[in-house]
Amino acid sequence: MSPPLEIIIPLRNPGAELARTATAVALQTGREFGVLLCDNFSATGLEHVEAAQKQLAAAGIPVRLVKPPFELRRIEHWNWAHAESRAEWLKPLTPGGALKPAYVQQLKRRISERPQAQLVRCGLETEPANNHSGDDPQAPPVQASLTPTEFLEYFPARMEWIAGSVNLAYRRTAWLAAGGYCPQLPGCAGLNLNVTLALHHGLENLPEPLATLAANQQARLNAGDGTRVNLPLELWLILRQARNYCLAAKLPWTKKWLLPAGFIAGMGRRKRRIYGR
């Protein structure tokens, strides 16, 4: 019988940071969840995979180690790992990311309180770099729930708070209906999925910082698997898709919005504003 929640950890040549992630999962105060370790033909770090599997099993957490039939690209690997799960709720977690001990307990409490929930976000801390604060300043104010209309008060004007995966969990049926992670958007696949789910279902917001990401981990995630990416183009496509959906669903898409600075730089001499019509 599948657990109601499964934490999915995709692996590719993992290093010692996997031990940090496994320890954080093993220390969860809430139970009735499982862990799926998905190894994408790692050539190194197999000892870390074995150690994580033993640590989780010793903590009484059901853990499965699976492997795709052949080597996959990063986004295809994420999708394959998700498809292997049969849990009602899916929680992606990359090596190096960590969850506070109360994460599973708080997540399950919110799901119980809001049975219609499809997407749950918690606060995120980035481990301080150079003694600077790693707080989550881009997140919405303390608010238990955001409808799709309320979500648009923060998107696309502010994107950082919805771009990651370490602090998000979603219902498996919602992930399937959204088509999973988009392989054609390898640099922004997580952002695309999160925006799609939020626009269709809204989101539940846990303001407490219950997830942690190492300062250098995001850079490693963005580096990907060597696939060439065009981040400005990907971001533009995501925003156009979001706009088209909002117009069709009669959601209040703003008629004009400022593009993020990085996107502006990538677009070169193109206009800094894109108009909704």
Domain count of the fold of the chain: 1
**Contact by Cβ (8 Å): 205, 106:** no
> Residue 57 belongs to what H/E stretch?
helix 46-58
SS3 (DSSP) at 12: coil
CATH number at residue 252: 3.90.550.10
- Read off the pLDDT band of 255 (50, 70, 90): low
- Read off the pLDDT band of 47 (50, 70, 90): very high
Cα gap 181→187, rounded to integer Å:
11
SS3 (DSSP) at 10: strand
Please check the confidence at residue 193 and state whether its pLDDT lies above 70. Answer: yes
Cα gap 108→89, rounded to integer Å:
10
Cα gap 165→130, rounded to integer Å:
24
The predicted pLDDT at position 2 comes to 79
In the chain, the amino acid numbered 190 is G
CA 112, distance to chain mean position in Å, is 21
On whether the pTM is more than 0.85, the answer is yes
The predicted pLDDT at position 270 comes to 39
Please check the confidence at residue 183 and state whether its pLDDT lies above 70. Answer: yes
**Contact by Cβ (8 Å): 33, 116:** no
The predicted pLDDT at position 236 comes to 92
Average pLDDT over residues 108-133: 83
Query: Which residues span the domain enclosing 11?
Result: 5-275
How many distinct helices (H) and strands (E) make up the chain? Answer: 10, 11
Higher pLDDT, 255 or 100: 100
pLDDT tens digits, 230-244 = 999 999 999 999 999
Cα gap 161→153, rounded to integer Å:
13
DSSP class of 165 = S
pLDDT tens digits, 85-113 = 999 999 999 999 999 999 999 999 999 99
SS3 (DSSP) at 9: strand
